[in-house]
Structure 1
Amino acid sequence: MDGSAGVRVGLLDGFALERCRGGVHTVVEGLPRCAQRLIAHLGLCGRPTRAAVAGELWPDVPEDHAHGSLRSALWRVQKVAPGLVEASGGALALADGVRVDVWEFKEWAQRTLDPTADVDGAMAPESALAGELLPGWYDDWVLLERERLRQLRLHALEVLAVKLARAGRHGEAVQAACAAVHAEPLRESAHRVLIRVHLAEGHAAEAVRAYCCFRDLLAQELGVAPTEAMQALMAEAGLGVRGPGRTAPH
């Protein structure tokens, strides 16, 4: 394998290593778990030192054993995907030209959250709608990044929905808002965005339906009612809706 040409690392919805030649995508097989962890770590951490990688991936063994495990992982990566990992000045990194879905997602999210960015360039890529980072992996460095990416996705989808609604692209705005709601059903800000989109499109009944679904979900799961901000949104739209539960804490 050419270490960089047409190579893509997938970390969302699970680990995957693919190469593309002539428009044909092929999954690279035969990577042991230690090699997957090394590639994933470099895909998330950029260009760490060898010592940092060894300590992060093998924290519970003596330093010399950790470095030995790192050398073994590097050898295994080189055997299956030659040139994929580059070493320079004591640091390790994925080769230039390698694509990583997390990088693509972060670039999209940053553009979307930029208040000056045009909505035409803000449409969500597949990675923005993908599942969580490396499900089933419980390393500390994965858990921290997983939560950070989850929050980034939710904020970006909400902002995208607002931008699309302002541009009059209500159907796409509803899809973005629904994606945020699906990702975190108890997140009130996502439901408020969805309701605002329905109202902007003139669909009061859809707004009421969305509110009632959220209100009932909160009552069932948490035993609370929507916050005053949510209730004020409905009141401002002239949609006084009452429901069970007590007011949620601020």
Structure 2
Amino acid sequence: MNPSPSPQPQSTLLLLDQFRLETRGQPVPLCGNAQRLLAFIGLRRRVQRCVVAKTLWPHATEAHARGSLRTTLWKLPCGAQELLHCTQESLALAEDVGVDARTLAVTALDVVRGRGPQSIDSLLMELLEWGDLLPDWDDDWVVLEREWLRRLRLHALDTLSDRLARQGLPALALEAALASIRIDPLREAPHRSVVSTHLAEGNLVEALRHYEAFRHLLRTELGTEPSGQFRRMMPLERRCAVRRR
């Protein structure tokens, strides 16, 4: 009987909140260029070498950028080198390496597309409550990726809140909507979800309090008012509209 193959070492590339690479349960220290390289490849899984060089060293000549890429690859510690598959044309992350930002993106896309689990568990909520992508990095490609993931996460939270409300889980629906508000307080959709949930439960005072707080925020920050759709949700606003007719 042949012995079963030993499991491959588990490695994780963490890009939410801060950069961290762990392999065999231990952190792997990396310099700045090595972190940027692993983060860029980790978000895409497989990238052409020319794209990596041009993106990570945008102000260098092509020859210098390619040289910087080769130097960075050569200086990678063993714990990081074994995570990359390198060819003359491309660089790829090993299939067994987990990337938290990619996990969050896949989960959020599943929720938005309606492919997520019908019963929402704590794992899904945890995925949608993770932090921003590399918040202290200001590289152009990071800024674009961060904004894309942020918007995707917001849409997933909005969708999740609506789904939970329909399933008769108002407390969890509120949590999802409030998580969306914490990320971007000026978006109206999650505020409507909060007010709608309060009204469905008969909590008129809470609904009015939240609506007025959002209206004050809009006036202060943008000098505008909630949309007509939002105003018509409120009982007092509906009465005033009937009287004006």
Alpha-carbon spacing, 1:227–1:69, altered in 2? closer, same or farther (3 Å): same
Structure 2: how far apart are the matches of 1:52 and 1:159?
A: 35
- Matching residue of 1:179: 179
Is 1:8–2:12 an aligned residue pair?
yes
- Matching residue of 1:195: 195
Instruction: Name the Cα RMSD after superposition.
Output: 2.0
1:18-97 correspondence runs (5 A): 18-19=22-23, 21=24, 25-29=25-29, 31-88=30-87, 90-97=89-96
Deviation at 1:80, TM superposition (A): 4.3
Q: Do 2:107 and 2:116's aligned partners in 1 also have CA atoms closer than 8 Å?
A: no
CA-to-aligned-CA distance 1:15-67 (integer Å, 9 cap, x gap): 11123x5xxx43222x0000000001011223111111111111111212111
Structure 2: how far apart are the matches of 1:116 and 1:138?
A: 33
Structure 1: how far apart are the matches of 2:145 and 2:205?
A: 39
- Matching residue of 1:248: none
TM-score computed with the length of structure 2 as normaliser:
0.87
- State the AA in 2 paired with 1:14: Q
Deviation at 1:176, TM superposition (A): 0.5
Which runs of 5 or more residues in structure 2 are unaligned? 1-7, 240-245
- Matching residue of 1:103: 102
Q: Do 2:33 and 2:72's aligned partners in 1 also have CA atoms closer than 8 Å?
A: yes
Q: Do 2:164 and 2:173's aligned partners in 1 also have CA atoms closer than 8 Å?
A: yes
Structure 1: how far apart are the matches of 2:73 and 2:184?
A: 38
- State the AA in 1 paired with 2:19: F
Deviation at 1:82, TM superposition (A): 3.3
Structure 1: how far apart are the matches of 2:195 and 2:131?
A: 24
Deviation at 1:151, TM superposition (A): 0.8
1:92-241 correspondence runs (5 A): 92-115=91-114, 117-120=116-119, 124-234=124-234, 238-240=235-237
- Matching residue of 2:243: none
Higher helix share: 2
Deviation at 1:127, TM superposition (A): 3.8
Alpha-carbon spacing, 1:26–1:203, altered in 2? closer, same or farther (3 Å): farther
Structure 2: how far apart are the matches of 1:201 and 1:121?
A: 20
TM-score computed with the length of structure 1 as normaliser:
0.85
Deviation at 1:116, TM superposition (A): 5.5
Q: SS where residue 237 of structure 2 aligns?
A: coil
Structure 2: how far apart are the matches of 1:76 and 1:198?
A: 57
- State the AA in 2 paired with 1:240: E
Alpha-carbon spacing, 1:17–1:127, altered in 2? closer, same or farther (3 Å): farther
Give me the identity figure in percent.
Answer: 43
- State the AA in 2 paired with 1:129: E
Structure 1: how far apart are the matches of 2:17 and 2:86?
A: 28
Deviation at 1:211, TM superposition (A): 0.6
Which structure has the larger Rg? 2
Q: SS where residue 86 of structure 1 aligns?
A: strand
202-211 vs 36-45, greater mean Cα deviation: 202-211
Structure 1: how far apart are the matches of 2:154 and 2:27?
A: 29
Alpha-carbon spacing, 1:135–1:241, altered in 2? closer, same or farther (3 Å): farther
